[in-house]
Amino acid sequence: MTRVYLDYNATAPLDPGAADAMVRVAAGAAGNPSSPHAEGRAARRALDEARARVAALVGARADEVVFTGGGTESDNLALLGAVRYLRASHVVISSIEHPAVLAAAERLEADGVSVSRIRPDAHGVVDAGEVIDAIGPRTGLVSIMLANNETGVIQPVAEIARAARSRGALVHTDAVQAAGKMPVDVDDLGVDLLSITAHKFHGPGGIGALVVREGTWVEPLVIGGGQERGLRSGTSPVAMAVGFGVAAEVAREGLDAHAAARGAFTRRFEARLHERLPQVVLHGAAVDRIPGTTSMAVPGVPADALVAALDLDGFAVSAGAACATGAASPSHVLSAMGVDEALIRSTIRVSAGRTSTEDEADALVDALVRITARMPEAAR
């Protein structure tokens, strides 16, 4: 059976160019980038080049890029690191952040920091004004994601950042789902800290970055040899970084074309879906989303069974966000948007990639029609 992969927000397959580059580095001469010999210098060169490529994807300077173990670590480092360094007593986040941010905020709360969680509107947009109103003199950090992983809805980060910085608070954005899918520029956004991860745009899993703008400081979580400007100790994973760099460059150079492909898929898919299964409910469809993400519910068809049914028919999609064991947790994002509990339990996420096609969109709609037809009349 041909497989159609439509779960790019969970992870995107490794770019062949990135894979080749990684193998060359990994199979080549050994060298610790911190070592003073020729092998070390070669590794350092490769690492620097990768860092520059990653930086370029988000408009940062190379020395502002701190390699981490992935998006979760980047988010943890931003929240825990910045607030602890500043000894701040208040942070503002949204209630639709990734668990990496939510859990870090809970940890801060346990340490006595107060946390304001701003809820989104029914479309999944966090109102900039509400965030700004929550910023007070004691606020050390504001962390609002750039695009939500479940709905793809883009948040008004630049507007929030302008106001927050004028009030003396640092701004972090989790750009894990946005990077490589829409233009992301740290200067335009005006943020101090920005998280990305490689595998969401065809880089290797297990490496991400926190962009720490010049003049911003965070307390490290991983300490030791002082690598990554002392912000993330541990021997730098050169091959992984090289793959990250190549993927970042491919994503930057192909940004418009890839976004167009994703957008074409989504427009076709949602239009056909509306024609053939008019009962389907889309979340966040009326506002700006990153191209390629559709959050949708087929009323009466539980998401876990729908994802399984689609898998058996050759389509890989997810129920809300991917969970560690495959069991779907009720989405905190959709709950915060006020979506009805039963609809949440019927919500799946279809996320297209740069190679997704309109034919695949049509085939997915056909499969959804077939699966829905198995349900009793009342559920159709």
Residues belonging to the active site:
323
- Of 186, 75, 188, which is closest to residue 141 (Cα–Cα)? 75
24 binds another protein (CB under 8 A): no
Q: How far is the CB of 6 from another protein (least distance, A)?
A: 17
* Minimum distance, C-beta of residue 102 to another protein, in the bound complex (Å): 6
In angstroms, rounded to a whole number, what is the distance separating the alpha carbons of residues 13 and 172? 27
Chosen residue from 26, 56, 103, 282 binding another protein by CB under 8 A: 103
Q: Report in angstroms how near the CB of residue 312 gets to another protein at its nearest.
A: 6
Closer by beta carbon to another protein, 183 or else 302: 302
> How far is Cα 201 from Cα 8, in angstroms, rounded to an integer?
8
216 binds another protein (CB under 8 A): no
Burial class (CB in 10 A: 0-12, 13-18, 19+), 48: middle
Contacts of 183 (CB under 8 A, 6+ apart): 255
Q: What sign does the CA torsion over 210, 213, 214, 215 have?
A: negative
Q: Taking the CB of residue 152, how many other CB atoms lie within 10 A of it? A: 29
Number of residues in contact with another protein under rule CB under 8 A: 29
Q: How far is the CB of 174 from another protein (least distance, A)?
A: 16
How crowded is residue 30: how many other Cβ atoms within 10 Å of its Cβ? Answer: 11
Site for another protein in 291-330 (CB under 8 A): 301-302, 304-309, 311-312, 323-330
CB nearer to another protein: pick between 255 and 336? 336
Q: Measured between alpha carbons, how far is 85 from 64 in angstroms, rounded to an integer?
A: 17
Q: Give residues 42-101 in contact with another protein (rule: CB under 8 A).
A: 99
> Does residue 234 belong to the site contacting another protein (CB under 8 A)?
no
* Contacts to another protein from residues 354-373, by CB under 8 A: 371-372
Give the interface with another protein as residue ranges (CB under 8 A): 99, 102-103, 106, 301-302, 304-309, 311-312, 323-330, 332, 345, 371-372, 374-376
